[in-house]
């Protein structure tokens, strides 16, 4: 997912009648449109204006998710469940994973819908011939967008499994706590404080030699 931001998400190529490439534009969310082959006969595509803040959030969530996978994986949840049983931090980690998926889905669905089609850029692949100009247009999605799709396939099952595992250990911990609490309540004797106070008063009274016969 991280690498996809720096690869081409969409490509426009123009070939002449000799099948030579005369113009090409590549798009990625970081640098917008860029080209190494330009031609004065053709105007550059309109900038899609994807929000920079969205890219920053996406990169941050990818970094945090990578930290979760490397240092706070499912095995650590199981170890934690046998010790202090504090699952608050793990719950936050699961939310971060779902936030990453939400941004990933935004890229997958919003990019073609709101940025390509609204600018009359076809999705996913188009070949169009212009007989008057004797040229052929090719428009198609790039490697970056494909990596976003692969990223969703990889991350979504892990996030669901992470959340379900955490939920299972939370329920198990709650069940154990309930058993312990019920056991303590059943075996605990009720204390008669009035009786204890009376006994202590009698002990103090008998310490006095005048009261021994009594």
At 51 the pLDDT is 87
The mean pLDDT of the chain is 80
pLDDT band at 106 (very low <50, low <70, confident <90, very high): very high
Domain 3-205 classification at class level = mainly alpha
**Burial (CB count within 10 angstroms: exposed 0-12, middle 13-18, buried 19+), residue 58:** buried
Q: Is the pLDDT of residue 108 over 80?
A: yes
| CA quadruple 85, 88, 94, 97: dihedral, nearest 10 | -130
Q: What's the first-to-final CA gap in the chain, in angstroms?
A: 90
Helices (H), the chain: 52-71, 74-81, 88-110, 143-187, 193-206
Task: Tell me the β-bridge partners of 21.
Answer: 15
At 209 the pLDDT is 58
Instruction: Dump the DSSP string for 46-76.
Output: PP----HHHHHHHHHHHHHHHHHHHHS-HHH
Region of residue 168 (left: phi > 0; alpha: psi -120 to 50; beta: else): alpha
Q: Indicate the pairing of strand 32-37 with strand 135-141.
A: unpaired
At 191 the pLDDT is 59
At 9 the pLDDT is 93
Please state the pTM of the whole predicted model: 0.71
């Amino acid at each position: 997912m991280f690498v996809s931001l720096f690869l081409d998400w969409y490509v426009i190529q123009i070939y002449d009648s000799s099948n030579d490439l005369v113009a090409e534009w590549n798009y990625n969310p970081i640098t917008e449109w860029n080209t190494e082959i330009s031609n004065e006969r053709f105007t550059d595509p309109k900038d899609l204006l994807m929000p920079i803040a969205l890219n920053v959030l996406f990169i941050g969530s990818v970094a945090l998710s990578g930290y979760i996978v490397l240092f706070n994986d499912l095995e650590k949840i199981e170890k934690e469940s046998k010790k202090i049983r504090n699952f608050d931090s793990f719950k936050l980690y699961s939310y971060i994973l779902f936030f990453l998926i939400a941004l990933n889905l935004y890229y997958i669905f919003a990019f073609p819908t709101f940025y390509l089609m609204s600018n009359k850029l076809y999705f996913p692949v188009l070949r169009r011939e212009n007989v008057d100009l004797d040229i052929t247009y090719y428009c198609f999605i790039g490697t970056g967008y494909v990596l976003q799709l692969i990223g969703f396939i990889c991350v979504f099952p892990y996030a669901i499994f992470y959340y379900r595992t955490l939920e299972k250990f939370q329920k198990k911990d709650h069940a154990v706590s309930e058993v312990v609490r019920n056991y303590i309540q059943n075996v605990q004797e009720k204390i008669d404080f009035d009786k204890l106070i009376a006994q202590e008063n009698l002990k103090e009274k008998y310490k006095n030699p005048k009261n021994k016969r009594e």
